[in-house]
Amino acid sequence: MEKGLQWETTWLDLPKGEHKKPEYLAINPLGKVPALIDDAVVVHDSTIINEYLEDSFPKAPPLLPRDPAMKARARSLEDYADAYLAPSLYKILREMRKPEAERDRERLREGEQEVLKHFAYLDGQLKGRQFFAGMFSVADISFIPQLSNYERTGYKISDEFPNLKGWWERMKARPSYAASMPTD
Ligand X SMILES: N[C@@H](CCC(=O)N[C@@H](CS)C(=O)NCC(=O)O)C(=O)O
Contact positions vs ligand X (CB under 6 A): 14, 19, 31-34, 45-47, 82
Instruction: Pick between residue 13 and residue 159 the one whose CB is nearest to ligand X.
Output: 13
- In the complex with ligand X, the residue whose CB is nearer, 21 or 129, is 21
Could you tell me the smallest distance in angstroms from the CB atom of residue 119 to ligand X? Answer: 19
Note the residue count of the chain.
Answer: 184
145 Cβ neighbours under 8 A, 6+ residues apart:
181
What long-range pairs does 141-146 form, CB within 8 A, spacing at least 24?
141/2, 141/50, 141/63, 141/78, 142/46, 142/47, 142/50, 142/77, 142/78, 142/81, 142/82, 143/77, 143/81, 143/85, 143/171, 144/171, 144/177, 144/180, 144/181, 145/181, 146/81, 146/85, 146/86, 146/89
Residue among 145 and 166 whose Cβ is closer to ligand X? 145
**Comparison of 125 and 146: residue with beta carbon closer to ligand X:** 146
From the CB of 74, what's the least distance to ligand X, in Å?
15
Q: Compute the least distance from the CB of residue 127 to ligand X, in Å.
A: 26
Shortest separation between residue 42's beta carbon and ligand X, angstroms: 13
SS3 10: coil
- Closest to ligand X by CB, 30 vs 69, is 30
In the complex, what is the shortest distance from the CB of residue 162 to ligand X, in angstroms, rounded to a whole number?
Answer: 27
